[in-house]
Amino acid sequence: MEKLAIIGCGTMGHSIALNAAMAELPVKMYGIDEGDIARGKAGILKNLTTMSDHGFMDTDKALIISSKIITTTSINEVIEDSTYVIEAIPEDLNLKMNFFQNLDKLCNEEIILASNTSGLSPTAIASLTKNAQRTIVTHFWNPAHLVPLVEVVRGKETNDITVSRTFELLKIMKKKPIEVKKEVPGFVANRLQMALFREALFLYEQGIASKEDIDKAVVYSIGRRLCMTGPLVSADMGGLDVFSSISDYLFSDLCNTNASFTSIKDLVKDNKLGSKSGQGFYNWDKAFTEKMNNKRDAELIRFLKID
């Protein structure tokens, strides 16, 4: 059984640590200071409360799970006795490269070093290390304790043992891992997500539909269907002749811009960043934020029960 060290207490770090504890894996979580750890613990407690409220586990089990996560502000302590390290620090390539260089010096060669990056190259991340064969990407999706997908991406020097140990670990954590066979920016799921996002922004900027109706168009159609049948299965079920014909006349008319749109750039410029700042495309006041978080989590928990 792997012993996990999670580097980072933020949105992804504390959620991955919770996922590991739910799978009854030994897990430690590192924070830069006590305030960081306190925020991570609060996030874990909030997530456990939500799962308990929706009947995924009882309160006693939630308390037991919470108590299993050991926290520390010492890198040496978090990697001590660990066999598998998952990094969840900010998405900055230079920061990750330097961090992995330091980890590589601190950890013996049997310890696997994984990054939770959502799209950066594992080869680049490992480029300053001496043991690049044990570096890999494990891209958990937010919220990590509720979304089953983890994208597993090997770098140029990642060996088969690292990949196989990673898949075994993720299966114990009850995830649905996929192997990304070639390094590509954004991996698989983010490329699919951003393709949809690009077309949604195009439709919005062209005034073809309101932001509310664009979101509804996804939620009440492909959103319902794609949760059971991915795009290629859906094409098979709909008829490849039909999908080919639609592609012939529609692909050339789809948005193909290679840069962000004015609408989102203007929002970012005005520090309207979405739920994190209270305003984005929508007004994220306390009531709306709680409503959307609860609605999303309830549906994800329902699917976890089914799984």
User: Could you tell me the two tokens for 209?
Assistant: 């539909």
- How many whole angstroms separate alpha carbon 260 and alpha carbon 194? 11
- Per the annotation, the verdict on 24 as an active-site residue is no
- Per the annotation, the verdict on 91 as an active-site residue is no
Write down the catalytic residue from 52, 190, 234, 293: 190
Write down the catalytic residue from 15, 47, 87, 139: 139
What letters, b where the CB count within 10 A reaches 16 and e where it falls short, cover 272-293? Answer: beeeeeebbbeebeeeebeeee
- Per the annotation, the verdict on 151 as an active-site residue is yes
> In residues, how long is the chain?
307
Angle at 86 between CA 92 and CA 226, to 5 degrees: 85
Write down the catalytic residue from 2, 47, 116, 151: 151
Write down the catalytic residue from 118, 127, 234, 293: 118
Backbone CA torsion sign across 271, 274, 275, 281: positive
Q: Which amino acid is at 161?
A: I
- How many whole angstroms separate alpha carbon 19 and alpha carbon 32? 21
- How many whole angstroms separate alpha carbon 82 and alpha carbon 77? 9
- Per the annotation, the verdict on 118 as an active-site residue is yes
Please give the positions annotated as active site: 118, 139, 151, 190
